[in-house]
Amino acid sequence: MSHPHTPAFRVALSTGGGDAPGLNAVIRAAVLSALNRGWECYGIRDGFAGILSPKDYPNGGVIHLTRDTVRGITSLGGTIIGTTNRGHPMHYPTVGPDGKVTERDRLDELVNGLGAYGIDALVSIGGDGSMEIAGALARKGVRVVGVPKTIDNDLDGTVSTFGFDTAVAFATDCLDRLISTAQAHQRVMVVEVMGRYAGWIALHAGIAGSAHAILIPEVPFSIEKVAEKIRRREDDGRYFSIIVVAEGAKPAGGSVSVLEHETGRAERLGGIGDKVAHALQTLIGRETRLVVLGHLLRGGSPTTFDRLLALRFGAAAIRAIDEGQSGIMVALNPPLVNYVPLEEATSRMKYVPIDCDTMLTARDMDICFGDE
Ligand code: F6P
């Protein structure tokens, strides 16, 4: 694509939103695929902050990515270019002279900033927020391809996102460890997991980790039903129980538990595990302990599945750019990685279908969802 007398084609990468294991694998595959085409590669620091808040980056908000910078990073969690879930360019948090934080639309500044760096194409790696930004940039004429990432698995248009398998594997390992201590002490263990408004992590880890009840946002629960399940186990002589609670789970007729509302970012969920644990201890009269897995689910080395998916996504994004595509997201459509319009990924969230075979598997195995 490049010619000795013309500047090399420049592709920039951005990682946005909560980090997920596999981000570095995407970066490595994308950078190597681009360099092998004779292109230059750049990484925008912390979402788009490297361009929108250059003063915060005395050593440069946009860094050159070379073979050396991406060596040995496939197995690393996090992202070597940084991320943020506070820097949505269309709702950019800005501190006023009175110290009050308001949101500003800085999309045009971002478009101009990309132009000033001579960026010819952008790979935007992230969740629903990053895909929304990518769509808006595409409508402004920026050549952009999205790469879906989230441990929550709630992005539509792709069968899976990398990060999810790693999070589920870790949560399952934690449940295996908690069962032995629950059994030894004859306790109820309540385990709260992330996932935002979808119950994918709770459902998959809960079934694989032999939980006795799984509470997910898609099935509003009655705490009395969960208590009944524990009592039935006790009637059978089993004096311990494992209850997995998704952070977005809510009681029937109630609402999600929110830890914090903050200008310029999504609300922070959490606290439902504590409520469930207290209520069960009161109802059952048995010692109950709460474990919140929280950000542990986002750490560690990606599983083989997530590594391979992330590498495939990174290389596919560069192939799409090479083919002249824009306004699309790479997606897993087994056995293929293909492309879907960005709108398809952002028009709705992917929730657990309450009649899917995974849910039926759980119900057939008498796992309680707190609804019957
Ligand atoms: O979307 C990924 C995720 O880990 C969610 O599961 C969770 O609700 C949220 O991010 C937590 O965000 P933060 O890193 O701001 O605490």
Query: Does pLDDT of 6 surpass 80?
Result: no
Task: Name all domains of the chain by residue range, CATH numbers in brackets.
Answer: 10-162+302-334 (3.40.50.450), 167-298+353-364 (3.40.50.460)
- Whether residue 194 has its Cβ less than 6 Å from ligand 1: yes
Q: Longest C-alpha distance within the chain, in Å?
A: 81
**Is there an atom of ligand 1 within 6 Å of 257 CB?**
no
User: Rounded mean pLDDT of 162-189?
Assistant: 98
Instruction: Provide mean pLDDT across the span 228-250.
Output: 98
Q: Residue 151: CB within 6 Å of ligand 1? A: yes
The first and second tokens of residue 239, run together, are 């004096």
The finding on whether 86 has its CB within 6 A of some atom of ligand 1 is no
pLDDT at residue 1 tops 60? no
In the reported structure, the alpha carbon of residue 364 is separated from the centroid of ligand 1 by a whole-number distance in angstroms of 31
Residues 6+ apart with CB under 8 A from 232: none
Active site residues: 152
- pLDDT of 3 reads 52
* Element holding 213 (H helix, E strand): strand 213-215
What pLDDT, on a 0 to 100 scale, did the predictor assign at position 2?
46
pLDDT digits 0-9 by tens, 38-97 = 999 999 999 999 999 999 999 999 999 999 999 999 999 999 999 998 889 999 888 888
CA–centroid distance, residue 18 to ligand 1 (Å) = 6
**Mean pLDDT score of the chain, rounded to an integer?**
95
Phi, psi of 115 (to 5 degrees): -65, -40
The residue-averaged pLDDT of 247-255 equals 97
Residues 6+ apart with CB under 8 A from 349: 128, 154, 155, 156, 197, 198
Model pLDDT, residue 4:
54
Confidence label for 101 from pLDDT (cuts 50, 70 and 90): confident
Give the pLDDT confidence of 29-53 residue by residue, as tens digits: 999 999 999 999 999 999 999 999 9
Model confidence at 340, pLDDT cuts 50, 70, 90, reads very high
